[in-house]
Amino acid sequence: MRDDDHWVVTGQKVWSSKAHFADWCLLLVRTDAEAPKHKGISCLVVDMQSPGVTWRPLVQLSGRRDFNELFLEDVRVPIDNVLGPVDGGWPLIRAALAHERGTLWRSTQDPSAERLARARRPVPPRADGRPVGRRRLPPPGGAGLHRAQVFAAHTLRILPRLHGASDAPPEAALQKLFGSEIQQRTLELAMAIAGPYAQLGRDHRALDGGEWEEAYLYSRSVTISSGTSEVLRNLVAQQALGLPRAG
């Protein structure tokens, strides 16, 4: 709602990443109630210290608190704090989401070969000198390493397309869909390779210890963030394959 030289924002958002660290946030808000659903939306830059802004942590399976529930009650945002044109926020956020989805795992969350390589290295013997056995690998077994390598190569392949795109290319949705699901499968495989050592503390000499368990539990969230796998499959079907909308 517009009030003189401010926007007044009231609303709630679940799954606000790093809200407890952020000084500023980007909000998509409806600034024209009469416009069609993808029109009349503006992108506001909001000071997280503004009166009326509160957040509540969401505790994950791993015990970490990376995500939050964000509450806004009559938050006043200066009219100059609009990113891009008024009522033109939807194309901006589509482009931003494409870059996030297409480059999500060119970072410390990369689920590719490096994790598996560390999990596959020999495990030191136990204190009594006997070797430590490993369980039979579940599907996809060793194929998981190849899929991770293909994923990493595909990430590099689409970067030029993302850089030059003014809108959201469908490859970004495919990349995030493939990357999030391969991360889950890779960590399931890594946990099987490591066996019981995966749940030991980080200081254990056999493996990286609790890192595996924490990463495995965290991976439950990656098929939700940046668009759920169900939403992304619809985007790929409609935008890449030209299939009609369901229903």
pLDDT at residue number 118: 56
Q: CATH fold of 2-87, please?
A: Butyryl-CoA Dehydrogenase, subunit A; domain 2 (2.40.110)
Domain residue ranges of the chain, discontinuous segments joined by +:
2-87, 91-121+137-240
What is the CB neighbour count within 10 angstroms for residue 41? 20
In sequence order, the 6+-apart residues with CB closer than 8 A to the CB of 244 are 238
pLDDT reported for residue 166: 58
- Angle at CA 101, nearest 5°, toward 96 and 104? 110
Strand (E) or helix (H) holding 215: helix 210-218
Residue 203: what pLDDT? 42
pLDDT for 130 equals: 53
DSSP 3-state of 207: coil
Query: What pLDDT score does 168 carry?
Result: 64
Whether the bond into 140 is cis, omega within 30 of 0: yes
What are the tens digits of pLDDT across the range 92-113?
A: 888 888 878 877 655 444 444 4
DSSP line for 101-146: HHHTTSSTT--SHHHHHHHHSPPPPPTTSPPPP-PPPPTTTTHHHH
Q: What parts of the chain have a pLDDT lower than 70?
A: 104-145, 164-168, 197, 199-211, 247
Q: How many CA atoms lie within 13 A of 231 on its CB side?
A: 11
In this structure, what DSSP letter does residue 61 have? T
Task: Please identify every residue annotated as catalytic.
Answer: 100
Question: What's residue 11's pLDDT?
Answer: 93
pLDDT tens for 17-36 read: 888 889 999 999 999 989 98
pLDDT value of position 67:
86
Supply the DSSP string of 71-90, one letter for each residue.
EEEEEEEETT-EESSTTBHH
Strands 41-47 and 82-83 come out as: antiparallel
CATH 1.20.140.10 matches 91-121+137-240: yes
- pLDDT (0 to 100) of residue 12: 93
Q: What is the pLDDT of residue 128?
A: 54
